[in-house]
Amino acid sequence: MSDRSEADRLAQESALARLVRRPEAGAFIVMIVVVTMITFASDFKAFNALGLKNNLAIIAQFGIIATGAALLMIGGEFDLSIGSMIGFAGMSMAMMLKWGLPFGLGEATPFLAFAITLAMTLSLGWLIGTIVVRSGLSSFIVSLAFLFFLRGTTEVSFRLINQSTQISGLPDFKEQSWVAWAFGGEMFGWVYDAWFALGGNINRRGEQWVDGFDARVLWWLIIAGVAYFVLSRTQLGNWIYATGDNKDSARANGVPVNRVKTSLFMFTAFCATIFAACQVFDTNTADAAKGNLMELNAIAIAVVGGTLMTGGFGSVIGVAFGAVTFGLVANAVFYIPWLDGSFYRVFVGVVLLAAVFANERIRKRITGGI
């Protein structure tokens, strides 16, 4: 009997140890703490009908770009151009939507504006990845160069063509274009229908006052779901982990390392373009400053979500937990009157440093202390 009890105890300890070693374990704990604190500090306003909508909009934005950054980091590289790519993509779409296309094509439809912009950003992602894998240069330096190049190109183009770094007052294409609605409309209205029935989404006139979540929430769920499936269920996922863990060993085992890395740079460009499209078609505006410092938020969320800086280890679920945490804290100033907005940066610094130490312990445990 005692032997069986001892075996059961060891089995439970082993299960607990495996759970703690999972990359998303720390991110989940931090998320629960933050959700609990913000819930009570905001007197539950952060999770009423409007609060839930606004919080999920920020969370989804973080989640979209952090998922792309995390996969690239798992593959052993960094992309500091994500934020500038957001501004560049937003400028491209807004200018085509305002002035149309040359060569007799007339006013650009939302579909053409998005498709042409996506072709450009994917080409830029391919170019960044190709330079990194062909030259052997650090992706940190190469993407940093493109950070400045894309931001400068965006600002110069705005000033030359628009005489301003902003475009506002674009037509609202959502009523006439399914593409514009897919990026800037509202989804999951049935959630608020249920909320309305329970009396949680009624204004003073007795009418429903929030109709659904922003479309970017759906895009985040799609991107995160596909990324999770790829990492956990496909050969490409194995290739990504192997490339980030040891690219020489991976190459020796037949992994197309260069193509994997280039594809991941293109994926981060895709995520940045989706982010920009959601902003442009939601607000009908564009600004050269859009996406500023978003690359740092994306990397921070990936690290807090359990992604190792050295590559080869990470989890999309952990990134989702990190996005929820960062989004709630970034938006908390609107629900907690006494909270200064600068506390968000303090939070990011403290949590990021703690995550780096935790991830380093995980790395040493995996590599046997190397």
249 assigned to some structural domain: yes
> Lowest mean pLDDT: which of 85-89, 294-298, 329-333?
329-333
Domain that residue 210 falls in: 44-367
With pLDDT > 70 as the criterion, what percentage of the chain qualifies?
86
11 assigned to some structural domain: no
For residue 343, the model assigns a pLDDT of 82
The alpha helices in 234-256, defined as continuous H runs, are 235-245, 247-252
For residue 104, the model assigns a pLDDT of 46
Q: What is the CATH number of the domain that holds 206?
A: 1.10.3470
363 assigned to some structural domain: yes
39 assigned to some structural domain: no
2 assigned to some structural domain: no
C-alpha 345/C-alpha 146 separation (Å) is 25
15 assigned to some structural domain: no
DSSP-based three-state secondary structure for 214 = strand
For residue 192, the model assigns a pLDDT of 76
Q: pLDDT band for position 1 (50/70/90)?
A: very low
The pLDDT tens digits for 89-144 are 999 999 988 887 665 454 568 899 999 999 999 999 999 999 999 999 999 999 99
Map tokens 């659904």 to a residue. Answer: 212
For residue 284, the model assigns a pLDDT of 92
Average pLDDT (56-72) is 96
C-alpha 31/C-alpha 370 separation (Å) is 30
The per-residue pLDDT of the chain, averaged, comes to 86
354 assigned to some structural domain: yes
Report the number of distinct structural domains present in the chain: 1
What are the angstrom distances between the C-alpha of 197 and each of 9, 44, 48, 205, 211?
48, 19, 14, 15, 13
173 assigned to some structural domain: yes
